[in-house]
A and B are shown apart, each in its own frame.
Chain A
Amino acid sequence: GPKVLQIPSHQIIDMGQMVTLNCDPVSNHLYFYWYKQILGQQMEFLVNFYNGKVMEKSKLFKDQFSVERPDGSYFTLKIQPTALEDSAVYFCASSRDWGNYAEQFFGPGTRLTVL
C-alpha cells in the first residue's frame, strides 16, 4: 500500500539545538499531519497542514515548533530550540482528502532524544 517515509529514524541532540524532522508523504496526498508519542503514552495530535498553511494545531504545538513543505518536497517539523520534554517519537501522516472518508497513512516515526 501507500507508504510514508520519515528521515531520520533516530535523532539525538543536545537541549537548545535545532532539529528538523523530515517526512516524505504519499505522492498524491495533499494533507499532512504530525503526531507526538512520549514513551509509554498515547499518540497525540500536533498539527495538520494543507496548501502551505497550518489548518489546526493542538496545545502541544509550542511556539518553538514550525512546519512547512517547500515546493512539494519533504513535509518538515522544525523544533527550535529543543527542550528535554520534546523527547518522543514523532509520527508523520498524510491523506489524499479531507474529512472522515479520507484515510491517514502513517510513517514509521522518528525517535527524537533530547539530552
Chain B
Amino acid sequence: GDSVTQKEGLVTLTEGLPVMLNCTYQTIYSNAFLFWYVHYLNESPRLLLKSSTDNKRTEHQGFHATLHKSSSSFHLQKSSAQLSDSALYYCALSDDGNEKITFGAGTKLTIKP
C-alpha cells in the first residue's frame, strides 16, 4: 500500500533561518497527489500545499514544495522561519482520489528567537 516517510520527528530552528522538512513517499499510482498539512496546537489540521504535477513548484503562505516523481519526494521549504511557524507538519498522499489520505508521522517544527 501507499506510505509516506518523514525522517525528522523534531526540527528546532532559529528564527530567520531557512526551513526544509523532508518527505518521501511510495505509491504504485502515477497520478498521486501529495499534500502538506499544518497542525497548530489546539487547532484543526489544515491544508498548506498540494501538488500532483511533476517538477512544478507550489507555493502558499511563504512555504513552497516541488513534487519530484523521479525521487518520490515532496520536501517543504521556507526561506526564513518565523516564530509563528512552530507547529506539526504532516506530509500526506492520496492516490487515485481524495477519498483516502495516507499521512506521514509528522515533523514537529519549533522556531526559537
Q: Which of A's residues lie within 8 Å of B, judged by CB?
A: 1, 3-4, 31, 33, 35, 41-45, 48, 55-56, 58, 91, 95, 98-109
Contact = CB atoms under 8 A, between A and B. Distances in A.
Interface residues of B, number: 25
A108 B42 contact: yes
Contact of A48 (B33, B90, B100): B100
Interface of B: 4, 31, 33, 37, 42-47, 50, 52, 90, 94, 96-106
Contacts of A48: 99-100
A91 B102 contact: no
Main SS of the interface on chain A? loop
Given A42-B90, A100-B97, A104-B98, A4 B33 contact: no
B44 A45 contact: no
B98 to A, nearest CB: 5
A45 B102 contact: yes
A45 B98 contact: no
A99 B98 contact: yes
